[in-house]
């Protein structure tokens, strides 16, 4: 028998087995319920992703997923809770998309009215972002020929040229003075 520092060492004849959790026995109806809940969750996640993609450039759709705390098998109750939370987030995303669509439609109607009767909408502005379009342009009712057009009542709708030019990083900083001075 081997010894270490005068004490006998007893080696186990075989590796020690640690009993793990027993596999849960599920019944056929529970398996069907799990499969159905997972299918519903997958469908809701796809629809939530579609709503994010459809609102991408200008939308405010939240598609964040809360952390579940590591890999594990969810119970039926947890699957139902996940499904209900996804359903609530999807309905919220649909509401925000509908609101965004209504705001864009109001801006389009306003632009159309500005084009038809510019004199009624003096100095009104509608940006491309409000219309759901890309770019930095802004539609604005301006007097034609400046002050003369304003006094004569000549108004027109103009589209700005787009994004402002970059101005760079500003003037160069003054040179840094060295802490070491050389003396002659």
Render 1-36 in DSSP notation, one character per residue.
Answer: --EETTEE----SSPPPPP-PPPPP--HHHHHHHHH
CA distance linking residue 65 with residue 38, whole number of Å: 16
CA distance linking residue 107 with residue 78, whole number of Å: 43
In this predicted model, what pLDDT tens digit does every residue of 114-128 receive, in sequence order? 999 999 999 999 998
In this predicted model, what pLDDT tens digit does every residue of 79-94 receive, in sequence order? 899 899 999 999 988 8
Mean pLDDT of 86-103: 89
Confidence of residue 111 (pLDDT cuts 50, 70, 90): very high
CA distance linking residue 92 with residue 33, whole number of Å: 26
Angle CA(57)–CA(63)–CA(69) in degrees, nearest 5?
Answer: 150
Residue 37 has, within 13 A of its CA and on its CB side, a CA count of 18
Whether this model's pTM surpasses 0.85 = no
CA distance linking residue 145 with residue 155, whole number of Å: 9
């Amino acid at each position: 028998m081997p010894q270490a520092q005068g004490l006998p060492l007893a080696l186990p004849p075989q590796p020690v087995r640690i009993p793990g959790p027993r596999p849960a026995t599920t019944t056929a109806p529970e398996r069907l319920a799990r499969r159905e809940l997972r299918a519903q969750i997958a469908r809701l996640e796809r629809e939530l992703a579609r709503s994010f993609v459809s609102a991408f450039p200008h939308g405010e759709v939240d598609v964040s997923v809360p952390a579940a705390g590591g890999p594990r098998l969810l119970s039926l109750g947890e699957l139902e809770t996940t499904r209900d939370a996804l359903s609530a987030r999807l309905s919220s995303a649909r509401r925000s998309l509908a609101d965004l669509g209504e705001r864009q439609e109001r801006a389009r109607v306003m632009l159309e009215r500005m084009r038809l009767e510019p004199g009624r909408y003096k100095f009104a502005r509608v940006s491309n972002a409000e219309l759901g379009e890309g770019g930095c342009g802004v539609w604005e009712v301006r007097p034609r020929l400046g002050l003369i057009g304003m006094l004569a009542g000549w108004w027109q709708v103009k589209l700005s040229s787009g994004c402002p030019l970059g101005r760079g990083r500003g003037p160069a900083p003054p040179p840094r003075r060295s802490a070491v001075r050389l003396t002659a």
